[in-house]
């Protein structure tokens, strides 16, 4: 998704591009699969008593964000894409303009859209679907920062408010022709000038380094600070409960990410193919980068490190995948893996409990990928003789994203802290949030836990019965 050049509908009837449409149907489905993949990636890293809650934070995001996206999310992010109607200060489009996707369906079925103005028309409905999956996973990503300790209801409310007030505006600013895009009213055009309504220096965020990863990473940092540490953080061993599940999750993320990155080209063409290769190049190199740091710092190359390196590489290449060469992607990737491996240790030194390293992986690798694109872009990057303008605009869009996400999340997080409250009770947290909040436990391996069907009877119900422990309301 490079900057959308808005194209008024041509006089002649646009013709559907079937190849691109088929590709986008597959790509959107792959991106949707990333969220269950993330749920496993995160779920495997939590403690056994809270794995279901961790997974439910991702699935919950699918529910809330999916519904909201159809009602007002698309309208708020891309509502003015087709008709070029004005947005609100380049920040967001009118949420009621296409409320409930009204206007997408004419007499001839769904209308077609050509977001980049390159003559490749796909049904707008699958464009909505593709964008919906991005909103879902961005929210789900945040959950890793506040594992094991948050009321499920507060999380669900947060998901709805945050995606509306932070994600949709940022998506509009970067991809919907807003402030951080290359549009004539964008920051870049104001700083470096524009030609024919398009900025001279186009900000590069191909698939969501700013909108998805910097955004989610910063939100994770803010929430980790607001919600506070888990009891026992830094003193107790909090070992991942199931490392093979972490690896499976990382594999699903990698697979889905091809839909995420290559799909962001919105066409099955040469650039989409290069993006696929760049994505793989950076990810392989990042895994090695992480493992090398581990081997020399900790003495072992670990499985969790390999999975984390994979994700760090995928994050870093996300904004840059359409602008780099495969060799440039290797460089971007190996630095991303090494940087993130070093960054995950920060939380112990600085004392914030970003439980599953959303900051260390997504914020750090997202910042590096977005800013690194200014160094390594083959046409405009500093290392390729393109000067510093691209690097400057990349740094600006990265920092503006940090600012927007930081301020927005702080306001929403504080409001929820003062009203619904974030934390479950200490008893629930130490006994395990799964049984208390969801009425389930993840594993019954021994099969000797006893009990019987139903909640009534002479024997008083205990932990696994219907009675919810005090303070467990979510």
Partner 1 sequence: MKLVTAIIKPHQLDAVKEALEAYGISGMTVSEASGYGRQRGHSEVYRGAEYTVDFVPKVRLEVLVDDIDASSVVDVILKTAQTGRIGDGKIWTVPVEDVVRVRTGEHGAEAL
Q: What are 92's strand-pairing partners?
A: 88
- Which of 22-30, 53-61, 189-197, 299-307 is the region at the interface with partner 1 (rule: CB under 8 A)? 299-307
How far is the C-alpha of 322 from the C-alpha of 329, rounded, in Å?
10
Residue number with CB closer to partner 1 (222 or 343)? 343
Query: Which residue is it, tokens 């934070």?
Result: 57
Residue number with CB closer to partner 1 (33 or 238)? 238
Element (H, E) at 30: helix 18-45
How far is the C-alpha of 232 from the C-alpha of 227, rounded, in Å?
15
List the structure tokens of 317. 């290449």
> Does 467 participate in binding partner 1 (rule CB under 8 A)?
no
> Does 300 participate in binding partner 1 (rule CB under 8 A)?
yes
Residue number with CB closer to partner 1 (96 or 348)? 348
Among 190, 297, 426, 467, binds partner 1 (CB under 8 A): 297
Residues contacting 259, CB < 8 A, separation 6+: 26, 27, 28, 29, 30, 31, 33, 34
3-state secondary structure of 122: strand
φ, ψ dihedrals at 107, nearest 5° = -70, -30
> Does 255 participate in binding partner 1 (rule CB under 8 A)?
no
> Does 191 participate in binding partner 1 (rule CB under 8 A)?
no
Residues contacting 345, CB < 8 A, separation 6+: 360
> Does 237 participate in binding partner 1 (rule CB under 8 A)?
yes
Among 83, 298, 427, 440, binds partner 1 (CB under 8 A): 298
Q: Work out whether the CA dihedral 122, 189, 180, 339 comes out positive or negative.
A: positive
| Closest residue by Cα to residue 121 from 130, 132, 113, 129 | 113
Among 106, 299, 456, 460, binds partner 1 (CB under 8 A): 299
> Does 302 participate in binding partner 1 (rule CB under 8 A)?
yes
Residue number with CB closer to partner 1 (190 or 297)? 297
Residue number with CB closer to partner 1 (249 or 413)? 249
Task: Give yes or no for a contact between 313 and 333, defined as CB atoms under 8 angstroms apart.
Answer: yes
How far is the C-alpha of 123 from the C-alpha of 472, rounded, in Å?
45
Smallest separation (angstroms) from partner 1 to the CB of 189: 41
What letter would DSSP give residue 231?
A: T
List the structure tokens of 462. 């205990």
- Which of 136-144, 290-298, 315-323, 380-388 is the region at the interface with partner 1 (rule: CB under 8 A)? 290-298
- Which of 106-114, 206-214, 292-300, 459-467 is the region at the interface with partner 1 (rule: CB under 8 A)? 292-300
How far is the C-alpha of 168 from the C-alpha of 135, rounded, in Å?
8
> Does 344 participate in binding partner 1 (rule CB under 8 A)?
yes
Task: Give yes or no for a contact between 150 and 472, defined as CB atoms under 8 angstroms apart.
Answer: no
Task: Give yes or no for a contact between 156 and 52, defined as CB atoms under 8 angstroms apart.
Answer: no
| Closest residue by Cα to residue 325 from 389, 373, 359 | 373
Letters for 314-343 (x = contact with partner 1 by CB under 8 A, - = none) are ---------------------------x--
List the structure tokens of 425. 């009770």
Smallest separation (angstroms) from partner 1 to the CB of 296: 12
Among 84, 109, 197, 345, binds partner 1 (CB under 8 A): 345
> Does 304 participate in binding partner 1 (rule CB under 8 A)?
yes
Size of the site for partner 1 (CB under 8 A): 20
Smallest separation (angstroms) from partner 1 to the CB of 45: 8
Among 3, 75, 280, 308, binds partner 1 (CB under 8 A): 308
| Closest residue by Cα to residue 375 from 320, 314, 430, 428 | 320
How far is the C-alpha of 325 from the C-alpha of 331, rounded, in Å?
10
Residue number with CB closer to partner 1 (292 or 392)? 292
> Does 294 participate in binding partner 1 (rule CB under 8 A)?
yes
Among 305, 322, 374, 432, binds partner 1 (CB under 8 A): 305
Residue number with CB closer to partner 1 (93 or 363)? 363
Among 10, 348, 403, 427, binds partner 1 (CB under 8 A): 348
Q: Enumerate binding residues for partner 1 (CB under 8 A).
A: 45, 237-240, 294, 297-300, 302, 304-305, 308, 341, 344-345, 348, 357, 360
């Amino acid at each position: 998704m490079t900057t959308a050049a808005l194209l008024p509908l041509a006089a002649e009837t646009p013709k559907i591009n079937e190849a691109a449409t088929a590709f986008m149907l597959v790509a959107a489905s792959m991106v949707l699969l990333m969220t269950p993949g993330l749920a496993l990636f995160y779920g495997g890293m939590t403690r056994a008593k809270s794995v279901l809650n961790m997974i439910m934070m991702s699935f919950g995001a699918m529910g809330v964000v999916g519904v909201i996206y159809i009602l007002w999310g698309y309208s708020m992010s891309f509502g003015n894409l087709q008709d070029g109607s004005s947005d609100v200060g380049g920040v967001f489009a009118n949420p009621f303009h296409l409320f409930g996707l009204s206007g997408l369906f004419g007499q001839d079925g769904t209308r077609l859209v050509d977001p980049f103005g390159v003559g490749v028309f796909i049904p707008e409905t699958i464009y909505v679907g593709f964008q919906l999956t991005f909103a879902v996973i961005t929210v789900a990503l945040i959950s890793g920062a506040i594992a094991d300790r948050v009321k499920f209801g507060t999380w669900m409310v947060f998901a709805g408010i945050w995606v509306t007030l932070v994600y949709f505006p940022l998506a509009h600013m970067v991809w919907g022709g807003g402030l951080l895009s290359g549009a004539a009213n964008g920051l870049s055009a104001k700083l470096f000038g524009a030609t024919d309504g398009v900025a001279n220096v186009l900000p590069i965020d191909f698939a969501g380094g700013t909108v998805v990863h910097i955004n989610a990473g910063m939100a994770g940092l803010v929430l980790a600070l607001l919600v506070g540490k888990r009891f026992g953080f830094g003193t107790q061993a909090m070992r991942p409960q199931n490392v093979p599940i972490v690896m499976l999750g990382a594999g699903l993320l990698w697979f889905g990410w091809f839909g995420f990155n290559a799909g962001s080209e919105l066409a099955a063409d040469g650039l989409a193919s290069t993006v696929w290769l760049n994505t793989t190049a950076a990810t392989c190199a990042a895994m090695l980068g992480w493992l090398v740091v581990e081997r020399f710092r900790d003495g072992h190359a670990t499985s969790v490190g390999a999975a984390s390196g994979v994700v760090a590489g995928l994050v870093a290449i996300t904004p840059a995948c359409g602008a780099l060469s495969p060799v440039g992607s290797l460089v971007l990737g190996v630095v991303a893996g090494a940087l993130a491996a070093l960054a995950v240790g920060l939380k112990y030194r600085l004392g914030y409990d970003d439980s599953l390293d959303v900051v260390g992986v997504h914020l750090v690798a997202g910042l590096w990928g977005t800013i690194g694109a200014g160094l390594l872009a083959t046409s405009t990057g500093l290392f390729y003789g393109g000067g510093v303008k691209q690097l400057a605009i990349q740094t600006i869009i990265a920092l503006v994203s940090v600012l927007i996400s930081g301020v927005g999340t702080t306001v929403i997080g504080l409001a929820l802290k003062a009203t619904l409250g974030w934390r479950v009770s200490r008893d629930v947290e130490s006994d395990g949030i799964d049984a208390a909040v969801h009425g389930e436990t993840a594993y019954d391996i021994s099969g000797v836990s006893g009990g019987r069907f139903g909640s009534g009877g002479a024997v008083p119900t205990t932990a696994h019965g219907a009675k919810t422990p005090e303070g467990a309301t979510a």
